[in-house]
Amino acid sequence: MKKYLILFLAVVIFICCKDDDGNPAEGHETVYIRFTPEEITRAGTSEDDLAEEYEIRNLSIFLTEVGSNLITDRFVHQAFSSVDPATAMNYKQVALPLNPSKSGRKDVYVVANCGDIAALNAVANLSGLKALRTPQATAVAGLSIAEGLPMYGESNDMNLEATSVRSSALVMLKRTCAKLRITLAFTDTSWVGGGNAYTIENAAPYTSYVQGYIPAFTSIDMVSYPRIAFAQANAQEFESVAYIYESSSAPHIHIYTELGGEVKDYAVNTGLPLPVRNNLYDIRIEIYSPEGAGTRSSAFLFSIFID
């Protein structure tokens, strides 16, 4: 009898240990949410092919009761429970330590690629979330892709009761900046400029993470990016990509090129679009010499095309 009792206890202990050693992400006190960036909205047909634009380096998640202003749960720089680095979308999934049956339905707000942990921890309600600023664009570096483009997403009345590792809730993230893909083209094959570069002026220094709350800036507040060199695409065309925050003011672009031994500065101050978050703008600037110009090196003009 004692032998059977010992065997029974051993089986019970084994079963308990097996349950304890299971993946905690499959437990009953976990809610799973997956995050992935939206594709950039483009006016033209060219593909958006930079994987770095989809990179999610950190995530902060805020929950409220449906329709409420008060943050009930906050997860700042929440660790990823799984990732998908193999695709361009590069999704991230998190396992939140919440009881699904008690969580029910929530409004979910997400900030991605924000390094200001103190500001994130200070968010207590939606008003504080709307006041949260993106990192500063500067005259030294502009808006850099190196640290991940600031993103934001939300999902109202999300059901958190029935999630799992393989069936997580989904929140789409949207970049808070616009993408400018600039092409400099020389239409005259005998006059292709050298040392081609550009600067962006009248760019917003930051914006709000939450969509629909664009800060108002004066001209003094706006920033100018450093000079950026074009990369040569072919014999007559040069290309570059820049990112600028959404703004109620259009940017200005200055083109610098050396033609006929003279450095020229073309100011593009009109005709450029208002930058809208997550939008791609193809900007083509063509430099040409009018027919019949006496001194071609000093008579070059330009025109712009926006797609």
CATH number at residue 233: 2.60.40
Claim to verify: residue 74 and residue 190 sit in the same structural domain: no
Is residue 126 domain-shared with residue 212, that is, in the same domain?
A: no
Same domain, 108 and 184: no
Boundary (domain end) residue, out of 175, 197, 222: 175
Regarding whether 157 and 210 lie in a shared domain, the answer is: no
Measured between alpha carbons, how far is residue 37 from residues 59, 63, 71, 152, 200 in Å?
A: 12, 19, 23, 9, 26
pTM of the model: 0.83
Contact 215, 185 (CB under 8 A): no
65 in the same domain as 86: yes
What's the pLDDT score for residue 15? 32
If asked whether residues 123 and 146 sit together in one domain, one would say yes
Are 237 and 128 contained in the same domain? Answer: no
Q: What is the pLDDT of residue 304?
A: 61
Q: Are residues 127 and 233 in the same domain?
A: no
Helices (H), the chain: 2-20, 100-103, 117-121, 126-130
Per-residue pLDDT tens listing for the chain (307 residues): 444 434 333 333 333 333 333 344 444 589 999 998 988 876 555 556 688 888 999 999 999 999 999 999 999 999 999 887 666 567 899 999 999 888 899 999 999 999 999 999 999 999 999 999 999 998 888 898 888 999 999 999 999 998 988 889 999 999 999 999 999 999 888 888 899 999 999 999 999 999 999 999 999 999 999 999 999 999 999 999 999 999 999 999 999 999 878 888 889 888 888 999 999 999 999 887 654 343 444 445 566 665 5
Same structural domain for residues 208 and 168?
A: no
Cβ-contact 173, 146 below 8 angstroms = no
Say whether both 184 and 280 belong to one domain. yes
Both ends of the chain: CA-CA distance in Å? 85
* pLDDT given at position 153: 97
**175, 209, 231 - which closes a domain:** 175
Token pair for 153: 């997403």
Domain end: 149, 175, 201, which one?
Answer: 175
Range of the domain at 145: 20-175
What DSSP line would sit under 164-178, residue for residue? -SSS-EEEEEEESEE
- The reply to whether 12 falls in a domain is no
User: What is the number of domains present in the chain?
Assistant: 2
Same domain, 93 and 155: yes
Residue 224's pLDDT is: 95
Is 109 in the same domain as 213?
A: no
Give the per-residue pLDDT at 46. Answer: 58
